[in-house]
Amino acid sequence: MSFDDLDIVRTVADLRSRVAYWRAQGLAVAFVPTMGALHQGHLSLIRKGLEVADRVVASVFVNPTQFGPGEDFSRYPRQEATDVELLAGAGCALLFAPAAAEMYPQGFATTVSVAGVSEGLCGAVRPGHFAGVATVVTKLLLQCRPDVALFGEKDYQQLAVIRRLVTDLDISCRVLGVETLREPDGLAMSSRNAYLNAAERAIAPALHRALQEVAAGLVAGAAAEGLCAAATQALLEAGFLSVDYVAVRDAETLAAVAHLERPVRILAAARLGGARLIDNIGVAPP
Ligand code: PAF
């Protein structure tokens, strides 16, 4: 597929008419919402979309409502020309890249907030974040009306929040979680890795290693609490500035669990230099 095959639309009306045209032809549409600064992880979502649908639509919108005061909204990397090239190369057919005024016009007053799964973990450290995500994702899904929407498992709590809202609000779209892509040293791919300098980048894979240590301990029968405390200590010793959490949660409900008795997710968030890194892995009873 060549560069010319990717169209860019910036209004909801244009997005809807393109998707309606495909639907009228009986084509299935996949949707990959992003905030841009695309990397191979995002492109794997596009490729997966092409496996499960006939056309893939991506969105690039750095959503202001999911950033708290003092967070990285203003410095979040914006590189539309590069993103367009990457999307075209991966086979994406349409990019929806709205301005903030298209998403949040004058008078906008609605918030979607999801109880339960959005509380705790990142929800506790970033108040309002998941309401911002839930609101923009609800809007994007209703604007695009895809058959399937794809999200990375790297933002595991976000994925749980989105699954919940799609079910609760009867949005007729399948939600597909796609496995995290990693650098050869284990660091999860993330647009925020761009904030790391060379010394910090060398430290960063300790986050994935800490998760693997917790997984190994759980499989050996140790209790989650002690393993998470040891992982927190290991991260601080490796050079992380602070650790927001290392936690073991039920893979579906995100409820706290003490031992490996059913499939769990081990999740962590920690600050390194000017970046806040998150990661998670799954582990099931042997
Ligand atoms: O994961 C992201 O990039 C964002 O949170 C999303 C889902 C595009 C909503 O702004």
Instruction: Report the CATH number that the domain containing residue 213 is assigned in CATH.
Output: 3.30.1300.10
Domain boundary residue among 125, 150, 178?
A: 178
Whether 109 is in a domain gets the answer: yes
Domain count, the chain: 2
- Tens digits of per-residue pLDDT, 117-136? 999 999 999 999 999 999 99
User: Do 216 and 135 share a domain, yes or no?
Assistant: no
What is the DSSP code (8-state) at residue 72?
Answer: S
CA-proximal residue: ligand 1, atom 1 (nearest): 34
User: Do 23 and 145 share a domain, yes or no?
Assistant: yes
Provide the domain limits for residue 167: 7-178
- Ligand 1 proximity of 137 Cβ (cutoff 6 Å): yes
Q: For residue 158, what are its two tokens? A: 């976000």
- Report the relative pairing of strands 94-96 and 55-60 from DSSP bridges: parallel
Q: Is the pTM of this model over 0.95?
A: yes
Whether 186 is in a domain gets the answer: no
What does 94-142 look like in DSSP terms, one character per residue? EEE---HHHHS-TT--------STTSSTHHHHSTTHHHHHHHHHHHHHH
- Tens digits of per-residue pLDDT, 140-160? 999 999 999 999 999 999 999
User: Do 17 and 153 share a domain, yes or no?
Assistant: yes
User: Do 130 and 208 share a domain, yes or no?
Assistant: no
39 catalytic per annotation: no
Domain boundary residue among 117, 144, 178?
A: 178
Q: How far is the CA of 154 from the centre of ligand 1 (A)?
A: 11
Q: How far is CA 276 from the centre of its chain?
A: 14
User: Do 169 and 222 share a domain, yes or no?
Assistant: no
Domain boundary residue among 178, 210, 240?
A: 178
Whether 26 is in a domain gets the answer: yes
Q: Can you give the pLDDT at residue 5?
A: 80
What is the DSSP code (8-state) at residue 91?
Answer: T
Q: How far is the CA of 133 from the centre of ligand 1 (A)?
A: 6
Give yes or no for a contact between 173 and 148, defined as CB atoms under 8 angstroms apart. yes
